[in-house]
Amino acid sequence: MAKHTLSILVENHAGVLSRVAGLFSRRGFNIDSLAVGVTENPDISRMTIVVDGDDYIVEQVSKQLNKLVDVIKIKNLDDSESVSRELALIKVSATASTRSEIVQLVEIFRANIIDVSRNTLTIEISGDTDKVKALEDLLRQFGIKEIVRTGLIAIERGNKVINAGEK
């Protein structure tokens, strides 16, 4: 099993997200993460879906998604040909004795501290999945109270673009 990142252009109407998500559950496919947002064209949204599965599963996911009338285009992004990011907000326990150590880690990871209280720090980190996970692992020793993360978003490198041309 490997992770695949699908970049999908869809019509920006109500109900599209539930159609896409419903298709995954109906066909027994697993979604690792899903991120949606409007594109440069306000009629079109882009979904970035990370799927866990072998080549057969990913081919089936793509073909079944393509059958949805609201799906305009799908591309399976190659890891080496694209850049990806996710954003996480991590609330970690902090005492007078641990705070400076946490701040150091945050600096090493080029993350930001976006909220401070007497016994917590909230850290914002963006990066690829591995980087976010690495910081999370290091912070665990201090006591993570809560993590909120977006799904992965990705874009192709260089001149290549995915737009609403021919399906």
Partner 1 sequence: MKLTGAQVIVKALEHEKINTIFGYPGAAICPFYNALLDSDIKHILTRHEQGAAHAASGYARVTGKTGVCVATSGPGATNLITGIATAYMDSIPMVAITGQVSTEMIGRDVFQEADITGATAPFCKHSYLVKKTEDLPRVMKEAFYIASTGRPGPVVVDVPIDVQNGETDFEYPESIEIRGYKPKYKGHPMQIRKVAVAIKEAKSPVICAGGGIISSGASELLLKLAEKCNIPVTTTLMGKGAIPCRHKLNLGMLGSHGSYVANYAVHHADLLIILGARVGDRAMGTAYKIAEKATVVHIDIDPAEIGKNIHATIPIVGDAGAVLADLLEIVEESSFDEWNKTIERIKTEHPQKYVLREESEYVNPKYVLSVMSDMVDEDTIVTTEVGQNQIWAANYFKTKKPGTFISSGGMGTMGYGLPSAVGAKIGRPESKVITISGDGSFQMSMQELGTVKQYRLGIKIIVFNNSRLGMVRELQKVKYCGRYSQVYMEDNPDFVQLVGAYGFRGERISRNSEVKGALERMLSDDEPYLVECIVDPEERTL
On whether the CB atoms of residues 73 and 8 are closer than 8 A, the answer is yes
Q: Does 19 bind partner 1 (CB under 8 A)?
A: yes
Residue 62 DSSP symbol = H
Q: In angstroms, what is the minimal distance from the CB of 81 to partner 1?
A: 24
On whether the CB atoms of residues 104 and 82 are closer than 8 A, the answer is no
Stretch that binds partner 1, among 16-24, 105-113, 136-144, 154-162 (CB under 8 A): 16-24
List the structure tokens of 93.
């326990």
Please identify, using beta-carbon distances, which residue of 1 and 69 lies nearer to partner 1. 69
Residues 59-98, one symbol each (x = binds partner 1 by CB under 8 A, - = not), give: xx--xx-xxxxxxx--------------------------
Residues 39-58, one symbol each (x = binds partner 1 by CB under 8 A, - = not), give: -----------------x--
71-77 sheet: strands from edge to edge: 31-38, 44-53, 2-11, 71-77
Alpha helices in the chain (DSSP H): 16-26, 55-67, 99-108, 129-139
- The binding site for partner 1 (CB under 8 A) comprises 10-11, 14-15, 18-19, 22-23, 26, 56, 59-60, 63-64, 66-72, 164, 166-167
